[in-house]
Structure 1
Amino acid sequence: MIQRRIGLELRALNNLIKRYFAFSAHNEEIERVTGNNGWIIGYLANHSDREIFQKDIEEHFTIARSTASKVLSLMERKGLIERLTVEHDARLKKIVLTDKAWKIREVMTKDADAMERTLMTGFSEAEIETLTSYIDRMKENISIAMEKK
């Protein structure tokens, strides 16, 4: 019997989700925003009630400082974000969405909601809660393993 590998299955699911968005009916409307840009736009929009800095992006998405810097610089060049100086520390730059990014966010939210409904078709609330708890536990296990390295 062939053993299914959870890591490979999750990667395959992630690839299918990326493909779903790549072939979205609104794809041209959102100017082919890359997956990472889309997730960052969503994060910034969901946390627009507070100041968000590059370090917050690094921690939330578990990415290296250099990766975050490159992604945010590209987003800035695309006109999706602005980095603004804060009064209490001139070295810090808070990251805010531009009007262009807010419009993209609106379209992305509709697509993401449709994708979530599709993913969860046939699942009960209890199954969704169980699945979510398993995913949380896997993320925690990986994080602990990475800290030990």
Structure 2
Amino acid sequence: MYFDPILSALFCDPEKSALLRCSNIIAGETGEMRLDGTTSKLSQRELGPSRGFGEVKLAHPSTDKHALCHDLLRLAIFAKDTVDANKLQAALTFQINGFNITFFLTRLRQENGLLTFPRSLDELASFVNLKNIHTLLAVTDTFWRLCRTMKEEEVDI
């Protein structure tokens, strides 16, 4: 209730055909799973593709960390699916816990690598090849370059 006017001001714009719906809804990309909120593109009177999602937990003295983590995982899955299905550059998700709100931007830049591991010792020789070694080196390079704490000068404001 407190967040609705702020979120609506951020994500609703009739000129850009954008709508934020905050209710227990099923979005097209989520199958049968329900969300607390979704941002969608409007096309005439029809709802178009989703651009983001939200989950809400009310303020309680003992917050269930498992439920918060489960909601975060659901948001990540929904965001990835909507980026893939709707060919978006990114999807914005938010998680409300009591009076705190956290925003996440999910952006798929590239697939870093795909390998098929050997199912037996007979297939091991075909696994060890130059292409797979390059893929593993690219994945480890990506990990060590990007999966780290950002320095102060790298943070965009």
Alignment TM class, shorter chain as reference: under 0.3
Instruction: Select the structure that is richer in helix.
Output: 1
Name the TM-score, length of structure 1 as normaliser: 0.25
Instruction: Select the structure that is richer in strand.
Output: 2
Of structures 1 and 2, the one scoring higher in RCO (CA 8 A, sep 6+) is 1
